[in-house]
Structures are given as structure tokens and as C-alpha cells.
């Protein structure tokens, strides 16, 4: 097991220590990448024995917002953050890239240090030069102004950070409140069905076969567990300062999960006489994802498909092994579609199309879907032709074999 050191970076510019060369090594928990990470760390240790630099190792599973901050598309990745300009090395040949860039990085450090020395010499020369008292006083005042300016800048950054955290918590609370409606409704229907068919005199469920009784009890248990998970997330976000939803990825059969969600929503699309078409290959690879989070994505997308597909319309669900590293899922409908100019904006928090202003909902379901998929290093997008329906796609990483 690799030992990881985590660096909390919450501002655009990280702080630097005395070592002029600053490197970040981003790693993940995939067994498949472990050997590559060990080789990179061993090579960096060799370099560090001959040249002074600072290396900080970051697990993207623990701090995914840092990967988003540096706009990483793959891990492991090595990032040079100082001296500027910032540079990212990624892929399967990081060591070869590092060998190519190492001497250039050293030259950049030498240039940076020379610039610092020249600047310090100028400062020392100015201090040694006799100056009128008024000039000395002016320098002292300038120094105090600089200190005050730095303090104001720091306080402003703290204020912005606190405002961002408060806004994020407000969004999360709204998202969870939105998503709690589905499991609450499902659990309530199961319990009410059982209650209405229970005979107090006989102690049995009238008009319900044992299999149906067991099914309803199972559904009630499943939905209450989902509600419990969401409530726990709400409490965690309320206490913490993290700006990412917590995820617990594991090996997941995405096709099976989708079929389970479709079964939960069966009554809804049958009530509108909607036709369901599924194309989920049996040999679809397993993915590396959080089951409850991905369930939230599927429920939101299918809920929208059912809501906007007219009576007697068609809903399609398809899975595709897109590459050796990603699985793609698509959910389409025959609703009114989404105008081209709004395809990106529909994923914004609280954004709603004009036609939806009078309908129920908070306008945050798709925003939540995007946050969940991105936290898994996947992508989500929509293809749509106005009047011809919409088709939402998302990708997830394949579980490493």
C-alpha cells in the first residue's frame, strides 16, 4: 500500500517552501496504476538525492477537487507548480517525459534564483544608500501599507472561500431535498399498500400474495436505506468544509443497477403508456463507481425522461463499452427536446427552461448529475433536436481487471 501525503490547496496559488522547485504527484487507488506510481516515486527519489526539490503526493480519491483545480484528465500525473509556468506530465510514460524536461526545469530554477539574487542586491544597495529622513519614513510607511494590503488580500480570500462554502452547502441541501422525494414516495407507496391490505382480525395481508408482500417489504427497506444515506450526506456536508460530495467507489454492475432503477419506476412509465426500449449488453464491463451516487444519476435522468415524454411515447436506455477504459450509458426520450443554446446551461444549478417554469422541481437535478459524474472522472452531455426528444449520455471508468 502506498503512503500518501495530502496537501490542502484551496487558492489559485499554492504556498511554496524554501525549495525553489515544487512538484505534485497525483495518484489514485486503482491497483492497475500502483506499479507505475512506485516506479515514478523511485525515480523521483533518485533525482532528489542529487537535486533539492519538494514533492507532495496527492490521492485524487481523497481530494478530487485538486484534480479538477489542475484540470487533470488522467492519473498518475506529475505537476510542476513552481517556478512558473505550470506544467503537467501525464500518461504511461511520465518517467520518459521527466527525463526530457528535467534539465530544462533545472535551468528554469537557476534563472528564477538568479532573478531573486539580482532583486535582493538592488534592495541591499538601496538600503546602503544614504537617504533623507523623509525617504526613510516613506519606506517605512510603504512597508506598512504593503503589510496592510497583504492582510486585506488574505481576508478577502478567506471571505470568498467562506461564501463559496456556504453557497455549496445551500446547493447540496437543495439537491438532497430534491432527491429525497423519489425514495420517500416509493417507500410510502409500499407501506400504504401493505397497510391497506392488512387484516387486523386474521393478522394477514388480504389480496396480497406472499411474494408480493415480500417484494413490498424489500422495497420499503431499500428506499429507507437510500434515505438514510442521503441524510448522512447532508449531515456530513453541514459539518465539513469540503466542497465535494463524498463518494465510495467500488466494483459495480451498471447494467444491473439500471434495471433495478427501471423496476422501481415501472409504475410511473406504465401509467403514461410509455414504451421502454433497453439495449444493455450482457458482457458490459463492470465500472468503478459509487452505487448510491450513480443510482441518483439514473433516477434523475429517468425521472426527467418519464416526465417529458408524452403519453404513449418512447424511452430508450442503452449501454456501450466505449473504450477499454470507459463505459457509456445513454437515456433518450421523445419529449420536446432542448434548444441548442441551452444544452450547456441545463447543467447549471437552478437553471430551468422557460417551458418548465410552471412545473414542479428545483432545477438542480442535472447539476447534481454532473457533479456526481465528474467526481468519478466521467463526462455527461446531451444530444437533442428541438421537438424530436433528448438523449443524455454519461461515461464511467471501467473497473481495473
pTM above 0.75, yes or no: no
Query: Average pLDDT for residues 193-219, to the nearest whole number?
Result: 81
Structure confidence by residue, pLDDT tens digits, 40-79: 999 999 998 888 888 888 888 887 777 777 788 888 999 9
CA trace torsion 335, 339, 340, 344 (10° rounding): -90
27: which strand partners?
Answer: 59
Instruction: Give the largest CA-CA distance in the chain.
Output: 106
Q: Are strands 314-320 and 275-279 parallel, antiparallel or unpaired?
A: parallel
C-alpha cell at 297: 444519476
* Range scoring the smallest mean pLDDT among 150-164, 263-277, 291-305, 341-355: 341-355
Q: What is the pLDDT of residue 136?
A: 37
CA distances 78 to 66, 94, 101, 328, 377, Å, are: 13, 7, 12, 28, 17
Is there a cis peptide before residue 272, judged by omega within 30 degrees of 0?
A: no
The fold adopted by the segment(s) 1-129 is Glutaredoxin (3.40.30)
Domain ranges of the chain: 1-129, 249-401
User: 345: Cβ–Cβ under 8 A, 6 or more apart, which residues?
Assistant: 351
DSSP letter at 70 equals T
Q: How many CA atoms lie within 13 A of 269 on its CB side?
A: 24
Taking only the tens place, the pLDDT of each residue in 127-184 is 655 444 433 344 445 456 666 777 787 888 888 878 877 776 776 676 666 667 778 8
By DSSP bridging, strand 22-27 and strand 54-59 are parallel
Cis peptide before 139 (omega within 30 of 0): no
CATH class of the domain at 249-401: alpha beta
Beta-carbon count within 10 A of 309 CB: 22
Amino acid at each position: 500500500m502506498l503512503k500518501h501525503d495530502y496537501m490542502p490547496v484551496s487558492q489559485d496559488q499554492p504556498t511554496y517552501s524554501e525549495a525553489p522547485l515544487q512538484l505534485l504527484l497525483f495518484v489514485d487507488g486503482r491497483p492497475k496504476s500502483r506499479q507505475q506510481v512506485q516506479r515514478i516515486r523511485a525515480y523521483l527519489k533518485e533525482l532528489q538525492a542529487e537535486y533539492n526539490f519538494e514533492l507532495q503526493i496527492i490521492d485524487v480519491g481523497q481530494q478530487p477537487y485538486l484534480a479538477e483545480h489542475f484540470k487533470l484528465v488522467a492519473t498518475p500525473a506529475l505537476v510542476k507548480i513552481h517556478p512558473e509556468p505550470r506544467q503537467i506530465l501525464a500518461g504511461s510514460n511520465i518517467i520518459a517525459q521527466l527525463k526530457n524536461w528535467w534539465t530544462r526545469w533545472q535551468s528554469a530554477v537557476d534563472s528564477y534564483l538568479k532573478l531573486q539574487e539580482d532583486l535582493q542586491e538592488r534592495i541591499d544597495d538601496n538600503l546602503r544608500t544614504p537617504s533623507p529622513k523623509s525617504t526613510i519614513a516613506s519606506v517605512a510607511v510603504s512597508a506598512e501599507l504593503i503589510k496592510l494590503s497583504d492582510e486585506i488580500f488574505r481576508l478577502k480570500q478567506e471571505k470568498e472561500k467562506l461564501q463559496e462554502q456556504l453557497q455549496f452547502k445551500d446547493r447540496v441541501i437543495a439537491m438532497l431535498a430534491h432527491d429525497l422525494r423519489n425514495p420517500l414516495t416509493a417507500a410510502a407507496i409500499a407501506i400504504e399498500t401493505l397497510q391497506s391490505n392488512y387484516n387486523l382480525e386474521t393478522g394477514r395481508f388480504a389480496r396480497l400474495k406472499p411474494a408480493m408482500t415480500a417484494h413490498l417489504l424489500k422495497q420499503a427497506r431499500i428506499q429507507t436505506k437510500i434515505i438514510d444515506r442521503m441524510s448522512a450526506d447532508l449531515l456530513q456536508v453541514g459539518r465539513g468544509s469540503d466542497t465535494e460530495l463524498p463518494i465510495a467507489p467500488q466494483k459495480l454492475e451498471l447494467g444491473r443497477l439500471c434495471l433495478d432503477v427501471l423496476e422501481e419506476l415501472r409504475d410511473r412509465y406504465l401509467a403514461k403508456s410509455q414504451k421502454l426500449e433497453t439495449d444493455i449488453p450482457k458482457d458490459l464491463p463492470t465500472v468503478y463507481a459509487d452505487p448510491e451516487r450513480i443510482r441518483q444519476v439514473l433516477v434523475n435522468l429517468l425521472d426527467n425522461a418519464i416526465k417529458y415524454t408524452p403519453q404513449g411515447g418512447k424511452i430508450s436506455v442503452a449501454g456501450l463499452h466505449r473504450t477499454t477504459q470507459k463505459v457509456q450509458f445513454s437515456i433518450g426520450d421523445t419529449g420536446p427536446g432542448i434548444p441548442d443554446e441551452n444544452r450547456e446551461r441545463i447543467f447549471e444549478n437552478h437553471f430551468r427552461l422557460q417551458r418548465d417554469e410552471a412545473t414542479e422541481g428545483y432545477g438542480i437535478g442535472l447539476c447534481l448529475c454532473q457533479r456526481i459524474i465528474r467526481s468519478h472522472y466521467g463526462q455527461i452531455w446531451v444530444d437533442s433536436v428541438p421537438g424530436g426528444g433528448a438523449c443524455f449520455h454519461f461515461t464511467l471508468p471501467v473497473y481495473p481487471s
